[in-house]
Amino acid sequence: MHAKKKGSTEELAVVGIDIGKETFHLVGFDRSGQLVMRKQIKRLALSATFEHLPRCVVGMEACLSAHFVSRTLRGMGFEPRIIPAIYVKPFNKGQKNDYNDAEAIAEAALRPNLRTVAEKDQDQLDLQALHRVRARLVSRRTATINQIRAFLIEQGITVRSGLRALKNSFEAILDQRREEISPRIRGILMGLYGDWLWLDRRIEDVLTEIEEISRTEENCANIMSIPGIGPMISTAMVAAIGKGEAFDRGRDFAAWVGLVPTQYSTGGRTILGRITKRGSRYLRMLFVQAAKVIMMRQHRWADFSFGPWLTGAVARTPRNKAAIAFANKIARTAWSVLHHGTRFDAKQDPALEAI
């Protein structure tokens, strides 16, 4: 079988870019679907290469540096489209390689009804980086605490669950069990405890920076007017979706976060299962935490406009299921507040500003 003959790049309608660490693979088609370009370039040659191409649609998968590449090409007059990898996969043909991936991206970019990823500006990427750094530090702190507990158990010492319980009793344990703990393991435990304290300080520094941004950013302040939502959710949401232009309504945002049931329907019969858990796992976790915080304070429900709805939901469904439904409702409300630039219409309880 003969390969398609390449045409002129002057007739380019779409270019698919497979973004790599050092090299990019480009595949371009004209309006009739004819292959007119197939090349590999160095990352640093991106601007120089596209300067000589006609302005057209440029597709790329959502990945590291996709937003940087998108902003660069948009500044040159192109129409970049960042596509989720799950939507590119159906267009892949043959074996997996960089050129086939770029071709699949180019074909997906031409689909008018395919939902794309909103381009993030530098402020959003900076805020997103803060959240990712904090999440990594929290994970490391948890691992350090678990290792301390494991070493203590190996010495026959158990401490009740909870971060604060271990921190308050750690030095007392080392002092009271001096004869039972060898000098070497004692030194190891003290080193791990020092790591723990350092991680606490780093987490607190990052959290302080996030809180400062939430106070100065108008969109974050509007979202924080919703009960149960504080600096963490508001900044994470703005970092993820900006002003929410990528979604037509709050239901679409809730579906993107993964707070809607999995649907398997056929023959006119609707079958709903567990939540999809698609999209941002981090945001989904924060919204569920916010829902559970509010549900713990039942005496405050009457003060909120959603109080009657929450009372009915808890009465007719299991509590965990009601928490997911409530998290969905909070997510839709947060999108509405963000998209329309308004504030929530209920009184705010300072005790709920924790997440």
List the CATH number of the domain containing 76: 3.30.420.140
Give the end of a domain, one of 77, 109, 141. 109
- Residue appearing with tokens 């007392």: 172
State the Rg of the chain over Cα.
26
**Helix, strand, coil abundance in the chain, percent, nearest 5:** 55, 10, 30
DSSP 324: H
**Helices 319-340, 307-316: crossing angle, 10 deg rounding:** 150
State CA 85 to chain mean position distance.
Answer: 15
Element housing 174 (H / E): helix 163-176
Residue 115 in any domain: the answer is no
Residue 178 placed within a domain: yes
The pLDDT of residue 293 is 93
Q: Could you tell me if 85 and 131 lie in one domain?
A: no
Query: Do 247 and 340 fall into the same domain?
Result: yes
Last residue of a domain, one of 215, 240, 266: 215
DSSP notation for 268-313: TB--EEEE---S-HHHHHHHHHHHHHHHT-GGGGGGSTTHHHHHHH
Residues 187 and 271 in one domain: no
Domain co-membership, 327 together with 235: yes
The verdict on residue 78 lying in a domain is yes
- Residue 272 and residue 201 share a domain: no
Q: Which of 53, 78, 109 is at the close of a domain? A: 109
The stretches in the chain having pLDDT less than 50 are 1-5, 348, 351
In a domain, 166, yes or no: yes
* 90 in the same domain as 176: no
Name, in order, each residue with C-beta under 8 angstroms of 301's C-beta and a sequence gap of 6 or more.
294, 307, 310, 311
Query: Same structural domain for residues 32 and 84?
Result: yes
- Domain assignment present for 281: yes
The secondary structure of residue 55, as a DSSP letter, is: S
> Other C-beta atoms within 10 Å of 144: how many?
18
Task: Tokens 């302040």: give the residue.
Answer: 221
Mark whether 229 and 147 lie in a shared domain: no
Token pair recorded at residue 52: 């000589």
Residue 90 lies in a domain: yes
DSSP per residue, 68-101 = HHHHHHHHTT-EEEEE-HHHHGGG--SS--HHHH
pLDDT for residue 162: 87
In a domain, 117, yes or no: no
Q: How many domains does the chain have?
A: 3
Has residue 4 been placed in a domain? no
Is 230 found in the same domain as 208?
no
> Do 210 and 242 belong together in one domain?
no
What is the pLDDT, as a whole number, of residue 89?
92
With 0.75 as the threshold, say if the pTM is over it.
yes
CA atoms of 96 and 347, how far apart (whole Å): 55
Asked whether residue 129 falls in the same domain as residue 52, the answer is: no
Statement to judge: residues 261 and 209 lie in one domain = no
Write the CB contacts of 179 (distance below 8 Å, at least 6 apart in sequence). none
Q: Which domain holds residue 158?
A: 122-215
pLDDT at 3: 45
Residue of 85, 111, 104, 92 whose CA lies nearest to 17? 104
